[in-house]
Chain A
């Protein structure tokens, strides 16, 4: 059953020119033991979606509608203090840059223990669980690591520490905001394998935010592709890669060079740029760049429909697509 359920989430950012709609009606649910990849380019609203779940939107940004349910409890209706106990307690987060998530002046062990104590775990027990958490993320000699300061650790070790800290309180939901983007590929591989292991061991529901479709192909059970603040397509990973139901997902996949091409032609380009969120067109936000557009697409914005295995916000079914752009 779904542990995290986001229902019709809207978020806005205040600017000089009024409020910018950065998340425009997102619905998404994640089951226990499932990893959902949230894919999108800069400005698509994927980070705002993640931060909304944690209640950590930056100044000027706010959730303007919808519900965020964790185990059936609406986080948005909670008071600030209750919200805080859920944060870290039931919903945890790991970040792109682990250094920003760690206090450089505290030992790693003290930081993990501090998080535990903030949620009511007392001294000796906190210490024990800190060491157990460090050991669980595969770091050798936990006592020594616990006594280290963040700058003494490598990038991969730091990310492991952040994961240990996030999971020490046995959360049900883990939000991962591009946690491997800054890491080398061999270290990324280790972290991906680790998160997958922990997901199985603890039945975690993971929302994995990334722009890297390769990472998604490796670890996600399902994928949601965001465009201009909405989910263009959500589908099981294999279906999405095999037969994308939204022209944007199809174009995104086609633009990546295939590892098996023997003749290297030009990469299919999408062309154009994402729409200006201050002046969204009335129709489908992807319509101006879309290779499959039909006359009706510019008139109204499509709502998600179920097609094949996918939910896709597109009027034009795959069968009607004209060009050979659907990646094979």
Chain B
């Protein structure tokens, strides 16, 4: 340089902010109070679900002739149902079934819907128009009715239930992904990348995707909680998990005839659903806060 920059010019960098060594994402979620509570709740449910897999407790299908509709006791911590089956074991297995359907359905919806949304938003044109109309059509059906119809058409089984729920949620992910992509695509840093000669795939995967991942991740947590409710709803209506397999929705449905006398038949499966939904929503809140780089500073 021909001309010396005055030393004081911009050489003064403000004191290193706390973000200098930014903690990892899981740490940031745990640092958020809502996120922490959510993770604890869902972690507990997941442990219970895993315990049911290895039959740590009772067999959820075994009928104990000695005590039908027996209250909580040392032998059956959460009591038994009308067939004398252990409610603790059935709730644990029901949680596993719910989480399995929720995870698989939301994974499908996220990958398919998210990809369609990102691609259609980034590419625009005909792809965007076609995807847009398709999502409009799917949105036109009431969600629960659509899921009901799909399960009826596909037949029973947990995977078919998951597919039905995935179809219902895919358009939500298309929209959640597409909106921010439209904003980010027009952002100046993407424009700067174009001027600098970055390829379209580099712009899409390195610059657009990371900046739209936050709303998608938040949506994943929320969709998981809805999926659990939907699965429970379908089972309640007799279209999800089939008896004698344990399911939270089915247990709530069965308890209708007994709960005035045997409250434990209703309370524990319903509680499991509530805890799952609240926990996932809290994780969604925590994610939202953790993923915004600007909130870290405050």
Contacts and interface: CB of A to CB of B under 8 A. Distances in A.
B8 interface: yes
Interface in A247-286: 266, 269, 271-273, 276, 279
A215 B181 CA distance: 39
A271 B8 contact: yes
A16 B298 contact: yes
B12 A269 contact: no
B56 interface: no
B6 interface: yes
Contacts of B7: 271
Given A15-B298, A16-B298, A266-B3, A272 B15 contact: no
A266 B1 CA distance: 14
A289 interface: yes
B14 interface: yes
A271 B9 CA distance: 4
A273 B9 CA distance: 9
A273 B10 CA distance: 8
Chain B binding site: helix, strand, loop or mixed by DSSP? loop
B9 A276 contact: no
Contacts of A279: 15
Contacts of A16: 298
A271 B6 contact: yes
Chain A binding site: helix, strand, loop or mixed by DSSP? loop
Contacts, number: 19
Given A15-B298, A266-B3, A276 B14 contact: yes
Given A15-B298, A273-B14, A276-B14, A289 B3 contact: no
B298 A272 contact: no
Interface in B36-89: none
Interface string B1-44: 00100111100101100000000000000000000000000000
A271 B8 CA distance: 5
Nearest to B297: A16
Contact of A269 (B6, B14, B15, B298): B6
A289 B6 CA distance: 12
B298 A273 contact: no
A15 B298 CA distance: 7
A141 to B, nearest CB: 36
A276 B15 contact: yes
A260 to B, nearest CB: 23
Name which of A16, A269, A271 has the most chain B CB atoms within 10 A of its CB.
A271
Nearest to B298: A16
Contact of B8 (A15, A266, A272): A272
Contacts of B298: 15-16
B12 A272 contact: yes
Contacts of A271: 6-9, 12
Contacts of A15: 298
B31 to A, nearest CB: 12
A26 B182 CA distance: 45
Contacts of B8: 269, 271-272, 289
A269 B12 CA distance: 14
B10 to A, nearest CB: 8
Interface in A223-248: none
Given A16-B298, A271-B6, A276-B15, 5 more contacts: A266-B3, A271-B12, A272-B12, A273-B14, A276-B14
19 contacts: A15-B298, A16-B298, A266-B3, A269-B6, A269-B8, A269-B9, A271-B6, A271-B7, A271-B8, A271-B9, A271-B12, A272-B8, A272-B12, A273-B12, A273-B14, A276-B14, A276-B15, A279-B15, A289-B8
Interface of B: 3, 6-9, 12, 14-15, 298
